[in-house]
Amino acid sequence: MMKRQRRQQEIVALLGEGNFRGIGDLAQSLAVSEETIRRELRVLEASGAVVRAHGAVRLAKVETEGSFAARLQRHADAKQRIAAASVPFVADGQTLYLDASTTGHFVARALRDHKRLTVITNAVGVAAELGGRNENRVLLAGGELDYEYRACFDTTARDYLALFTPSLAILSVESVNLDHGFSDYHAGEAAVSRMMIARSRRTMIVADRSKFDRHGTVQIAPLNGVAMLVTDQPLTPAYAEGLAGVEVVIA
């Protein structure tokens, strides 16, 4: 299973964004048969990660976020580096909020050796990664489950999360934009993120370079409205100016 997941990640990486490539080209690049490529593409197509047409394939256009499984595979290497760079800022015994993003999921995995954490989350995957380990406490918001995000964003979830004041909130976003700051596509996720930024003593945004210069739908915070940004590539001069006063860590 792990070999297949790795191969699917390699296919996504080869496709880049928006470019069609032939089945034979992918098979040659990965040194596998065309039938193997077709089998993996059937899985990726079912998850919404790719689009096939006449013997060729490309990544699905990122107009919305797509399913959690598809997003988990996008830019996975960058997200893992960002997660590894963020965990030194989390202390054993700390109380933190982790969001339902795929980057947040990678952060949860990277935190598995930490001890006595109190983790507040609305994400089933985060709870599964950190619950029952090293004396961690996991406080999971309930409500109606959004199956694509594997998380709860409704009024029940927000009312529960509003009870807490974590020392650190770790969030990702779908857009980092000079004009609109940090924003998202999912209105429920954005509402939860805004609330947890307001209730936390410190906020860390974890976002890879693909999120920059995109246009989100719902604003979460202005660029100077958070304490830290962890990303995977150096900032352009314009973003360095816009993020003046924000601690920036390059993974």
Largest Cα–Cα distance of the chain, in whole Å? 55
User: Is 10 exposed, middle or buried, given 0-12, 13-18 or 19+ CB atoms closer than 10 A?
Assistant: middle
Specify the amino acid at residue 217.
T
Q: Are residues 229 and 142 in the same domain?
A: yes
Q: Are residues 100 and 8 in the same domain?
A: no
- Helix or strand or coil: residue 123? strand
Inside any domain, residue 191: yes
**pLDDT reported for residue 16:** 63
Higher pLDDT, 150 or 86: 86
Residue-wise pLDDT tens digits, 186-220 = 888 999 999 999 999 999 999 999 999 987 778 89
The one-character DSSP state at 239 is H
Distance, in Å, from the CA atom of 171 to the CA atom of 108, rounded to the nearest integer, reads 11
0.85 surpassed by pTM: no
Distance, in Å, from the CA atom of 26 to the CA atom of 56, rounded to the nearest integer, reads 9
Residue-wise pLDDT tens digits, 180-195 = 899 998 888 999 999 9
Q: Are residues 140 and 32 in the same domain?
A: no
**pLDDT reported for residue 58:** 80
What CATH number is associated with residue 15? 1.10.10.10
- Helix or strand or coil: residue 106? helix
Q: Are residues 148 and 244 in the same domain?
A: yes
What domain range is 30 assigned to?
2-61
Inside any domain, residue 67: no
Q: Are residues 114 and 213 in the same domain?
A: yes
**pLDDT reported for residue 122:** 96
Q: Are residues 23 and 99 in the same domain?
A: no
From residue 7, give the alpha-carbon distance in Å to each of 14, 152, 241.
11, 31, 39
Tally the domains of the chain: 2
Beta bridge pairs of residue 120: 97, 139
Q: Are residues 85 and 202 in the same domain?
A: yes
